Structure 1
């Protein structure tokens, strides 16, 4: 297990800067997930850690040793790619041991490590098969096994589940979580899927346009997002956002008036708000409750029945759609008018730049 540190790391291609001063500490044994939209720089950052991309400026250290100019093969890192990249003419056993054989590791040691990795990944019955005889999930396990046999300090995963169907993705998420627990390994994992990030990570790093927007545990980011981007990116279905204007009452209480919702006013308490200030109010779908003190008058456009729960997609006039999680979905239908109630204390407030107001 190893500790990794990035200090003001930047990456430029000519005049285009794609990684813009990333600072990050990853503790030994942590499962860290880089998440963000396509083009945010998460795979580039991972490849810089692996040594596959040159660091333009800043420092990468592993166990307090600067790695910027160290050859990728000597960094103690193993990488699992989105494509399985297995040799089709080799067996599972040969694929898993190939890097060791290429490095001159003695044959008995290769056989020992391959057997250990196969046991961890439940691949023993498949060792003599070739890739074409395996399912997608089995091939991905072989690719992971090929990394395990190298006994790396750090595992890097670059969207390893993207090529799998939905059911298999769920299964492989469980397998990777089990693997992390069993190996107590340091893992850095890249995905654009925030559900993967929420279910796998000890710590999530949210990236946008080469900048780290927020770092924290999955529930910290879900419950306490630093800005509008993180609030909207973490969570499925995503948080609802309502445009508002701050008004102050004679009692000193501040309110957010919602022009797109019949000028409904809800109480807000963050500091730093002034009369007439434009804000955005964030409400998660599950925060709509029948006993809430605030209410929105909405008309249902569509219902998603998922068995134990229903998501209602509703709007006020021509306003943006609002997603509401409800347990009473079986009694609702499209076109129904509803009073969507919520507790204002659950609402988050953001200023016009997207910064969270607290």
Structure 2
């Protein structure tokens, strides 16, 4: 098994630089998720690790070996794509064993590896079926099985669940997490879905515009984001942001005239800031209060969210104990503890 190291890795397409200098270390057996909005460079970075895109500059190591100029087939990696790319005329068994057969592996070894992968993925009863006889989730498991039989040092997943419906995505998330526990290998997983990132990752790499914004465990990024981009991207529903100005030991909120909340950090008088409040930090006991009018209430069974604002202010997402009692048009005092709020400067960086 192997970890990876990227040192000042860059990628340009002509005069356009899409990866602008990435430094990252991934430990052996770690599950790392690259996450970010469309166009941030996460899939390009994954393809560079796979060898499907050439690195413009910088170094990539798998284990202790520099692999910039090593053929993809010699890197010890296996990749699972967004599309299943199964051979429709072959059975599941033949699809899973094809790469080994092409490489000239002995028949007995192919059968043993396919059987083991089928056991791990619970594909035994499906081995003699063809892709057209399988559901979307089953096809994705076959694609994963085709990677497993190669015994790679590193698994690469490029948005493998994006073509599945919501229920299947949840099921396959559990399957991939279980797969990592059983195989104990290094996995790098690309997604634009921060819920997938939060539920699967040991470590999340948040990317924007070809650069790493922050690296950390899911809860580290959730509780202690370095900047307003990470704070807004990690968490569902997303964090609420309120504009404010430092005044004495407090922050005067722009959208709530006359409302000054205690500042959880030291600020300079007149400083322009943004206050971030998670929806779940609105509670009935908070010492600060925002008077809002409820516009929409979403009852999700175990959770209920109210969407509210005051006179053209930004819409707030609020989760409180009494949301089941709220209805459209209600005036509501959205209370929170100022100590739970995060403060960001005009450059978007967290003020601690």
Structure 2 length normalisation: TM-score? 0.99
Q: CA RMSD in A?
A: 0.6
Does structure 2 conserve the Cα–Cα contact (< 8 Å) formed by 1:308 and 1:327? no
Deviation of 1:327 after TM superposition, in Å, equals 2.7
Residues 46-61 of structure 1 aligned to structure 2 (within 5 Å): 46-61=46-61
Does structure 2 conserve the Cα–Cα contact (< 8 Å) formed by 1:120 and 1:179? yes
Provide the residue aligned with 1:317 in structure 2.
311
Of 323-332 and 283-292, more deviation after overlay is shown by 323-332
In structure 1, distance between residues paired with 2:74 and 2:302: 51
Deviation of 1:270 after TM superposition, in Å, equals 2.0
Deviation of 1:263 after TM superposition, in Å, equals 2.9
Does structure 2 conserve the Cα–Cα contact (< 8 Å) formed by 1:46 and 1:190? yes
In structure 2, distance between residues paired with 1:73 and 1:166: 34
Moved over 2 A (4+): none
Deviation of 1:144 after TM superposition, in Å, equals 0.2
Provide the residue aligned with 1:251 in structure 2.
none
Does structure 2 conserve the Cα–Cα contact (< 8 Å) formed by 1:312 and 1:324? yes
Does structure 1 conserve the Cα–Cα contact (< 8 Å) formed by 2:284 and 2:321? no
Provide the residue aligned with 2:18 in structure 1.
18
Of 324-333 and 202-211, more deviation after overlay is shown by 324-333
In structure 2, distance between residues paired with 1:263 and 1:14: 53
The alignment covers a number of residue pairs equal to: 352
In structure 1, distance between residues paired with 2:145 and 2:101: 15
String of CA shifts for 1:101-153, please: whole Å, max 9, x gaps: 00011111000000000000000000000000000000000000000000000
1:226 aligns with 2:220: no
In structure 1, distance between residues paired with 2:90 and 2:128: 9
1:137 aligns with 2:137: yes
Deviation of 1:330 after TM superposition, in Å, equals 2.5
In structure 1, distance between residues paired with 2:264 and 2:239: 19
Provide the residue aligned with 1:106 in structure 2.
106
In structure 2, distance between residues paired with 1:113 and 1:309: 44
Provide the residue aligned with 1:297 in structure 2.
291
SS of the equivalent of 2:319 reads strand
SS of the equivalent of 1:354 reads coil
1:189 aligns with 2:184: no
Provide the residue aligned with 1:214 in structure 2.
214
In structure 2, distance between residues paired with 1:307 and 1:181: 31
Deviation of 1:307 after TM superposition, in Å, equals 1.7
In structure 2, distance between residues paired with 1:308 and 1:161: 25
String of CA shifts for 1:237-277, please: whole Å, max 9, x gaps: 000000000011xxxxx211002112311111324x21111
Deviation of 1:326 after TM superposition, in Å, equals 2.1
Gap regions ≥5 residues in structure 2: none
Deviation of 1:328 after TM superposition, in Å, equals 1.5
Gap regions ≥5 residues in structure 1: 249-253
SS of the equivalent of 2:231 reads helix
In structure 2, distance between residues paired with 1:192 and 1:235: 13
Residues 246-257 of structure 1 aligned to structure 2 (within 5 Å): 246-248=246-248, 254-257=249-252
Of 319-328 and 27-36, more deviation after overlay is shown by 319-328
Provide the residue aligned with 1:267 in structure 2.
262
Provide the residue aligned with 1:128 in structure 2.
128
String of CA shifts for 1:4-36, please: whole Å, max 9, x gaps: 000000000111100010000000000000000
SS of the equivalent of 1:55 reads coil
Residues 24-173 of structure 1 aligned to structure 2 (within 5 Å): 24-173=24-173
In structure 2, distance between residues paired with 1:244 and 1:177: 42
Provide the residue aligned with 2:350 in structure 1.
356
Does structure 2 conserve the Cα–Cα contact (< 8 Å) formed by 1:309 and 1:327? no
